[in-house]
């Protein structure tokens, strides 16, 4: 009897939560509920946050290629969230349209994959209007372009606008992976990162082919657009150099040997990482994680984004 009591006590100790232990929390949940998710609770927020960027990419690429988005393709994935503002079909050549369409469907798959792992949240209000993109480009150049930049006007413009989207999610997945605890969580993030990296590489390659081509009617080379956008994101993120355009000074190029920069990476050609806070500062367009704007006029959804909005409101009270 004493031996049984000792063994039982040991089992109870094993099941008691250890401060900061994610695996123990999952073990208790699994014992209580055999249908519990294989994603630890402490991973949920980090896996849900990228839904904001996946929604953004899905609507932009679906509308740009077909003229409609999730509300027609997969309305259940929106969870009743508001329709995007100003998104429309772009004037694309067949090749670019085909790529945008593939990206759009990939985004749908990403939304499904994340929501198969965690509950998720409704689509946030997204501003994908030409005016919204024009504001971003004006901010990047430090002055208004005339006429205002229209991402839907041509294939080149659409690719430049696309340069704004997958890379932010890419750096977010790189940043979150070391903080994830569960093996299923890490596998999901790694899989999403792989495809997101591919999207960004294709966009950069297509733009690199046009690097010296001047964008009509501004007379500004494509490479200059990418360099200005990357510098703007570095400034907004407020965490140093984590973004590079298609042409860089040789001392920043791969092994300090070349200026061509078809893939962005640090001095060892390793992908840059960003935190959710850095990402919010960028996609809100104002450099503050608690002040909505830009592509998310009402703010991003989820507990991470919401915590910064609440903190800011509390500071004003």
Statement to judge: residues 22 and 2 lie in one domain: yes
pTM for this structure? 0.88
Domain that holds residue 99: 44-316
Average pLDDT over residues 8-29: 43
* pLDDT in the model for residue 38: 81
Contact 244, 232 (CB under 8 A): no
Statement to judge: residues 32 and 126 lie in one domain: no
Rounded to the nearest integer, the mean pLDDT of the chain is: 89
Statement to judge: residues 219 and 253 lie in one domain: yes
Statement to judge: residues 231 and 157 lie in one domain: yes
What tokens were used for 112? 């499904």
Return d(Cα 254, Cα 115) in angstroms, integer.
38
Statement to judge: residues 155 and 18 lie in one domain: no
Cβ atoms < 10 Å from Cβ of 223: 21
Statement to judge: residues 3 and 133 lie in one domain: no
What tokens were used for 250? 């040789």
Contact 301, 121 (CB under 8 A): yes
Number of domains in the chain: 2
Statement to judge: residues 81 and 13 lie in one domain: no
pLDDT tens digits for 130-166?
999 999 999 999 999 999 999 999 999 999 999 999 9
* pLDDT in the model for residue 205: 98
Statement to judge: residues 7 and 84 lie in one domain: no
pLDDT tens digits for 160-219?
999 999 999 999 999 999 999 999 999 999 999 999 999 999 999 999 999 999 999 999
What tokens were used for 150? 């229209």
Give yes or no for residue 18 having a pLDDT over 70. Answer: no
Give the single-character DSSP code of 221. E
Dihedrals phi, psi of 265, to nearest 5 degrees: -170, 165
Contact 47, 291 (CB under 8 A): no
Average pLDDT over residues 285-307: 97
């Amino acid at each position: 009897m004493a031996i049984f009591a000792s063994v039982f006590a040991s089992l109870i100790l094993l099941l008691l939560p250890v401060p900061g232990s994610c695996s123990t929390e999952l073990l208790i949940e699994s014992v209580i509920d055999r249908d519990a998710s294989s994603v630890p609770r402490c991973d949920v927020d980090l896996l849900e946050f990228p839904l904001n960027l996946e929604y953004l990419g899905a609507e932009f690429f679906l509308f740009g290629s077909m003229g409609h988005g999730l509300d027609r393709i997969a309305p259940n994935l929106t969870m009743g969230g508001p329709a995007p503002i100003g998104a429309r079909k772009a004037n694309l050549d067949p090749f670019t349209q085909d790529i945008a369409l593939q990206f759009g469907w990939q985004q749908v798959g990403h939304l499904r994959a994340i929501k198969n792992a965690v509950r998720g949240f409704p689509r946030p209000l997204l501003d994908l209007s030409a005016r919204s993109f024009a504001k971003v480009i004006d901010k990047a150049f430090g002055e208004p372009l005339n006429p205002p930049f229209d991402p839907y006007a041509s294939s080149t413009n659409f690719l430049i606008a696309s340069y704004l989207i997958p890379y932010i999610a890419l750096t977010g997945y790189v940043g979150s992976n070391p903080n994830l605890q569960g093996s299923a969580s890490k596998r999901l993030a790694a899989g999403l990162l792989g495809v997101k990296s591919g999207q960004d590489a294709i966009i950069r390659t297509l733009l690199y082919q046009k690097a010296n081509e001047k964008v009509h009617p501004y007379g500004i080379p494509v490479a200059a657009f990418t360099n200005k956008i990357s510098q703007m994101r570095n400034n907004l993120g407020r965490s140093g150099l984590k973004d590079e355009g298609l042409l860089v000074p040789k001392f920043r190029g791969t092994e300090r040997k070349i200026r061509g920069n078809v893939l962005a990476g640090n001095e060892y050609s390793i992908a840059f990482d960003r935190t959710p806070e850095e990402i919010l500062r960028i996609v809100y367009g104002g450099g503050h994680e608690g002040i909505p704007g830009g592509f998310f006029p009402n703010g991003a959804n989820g507990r991470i984004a919401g915590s910064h909005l609440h903190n800011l409101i509390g500071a004003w009270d």
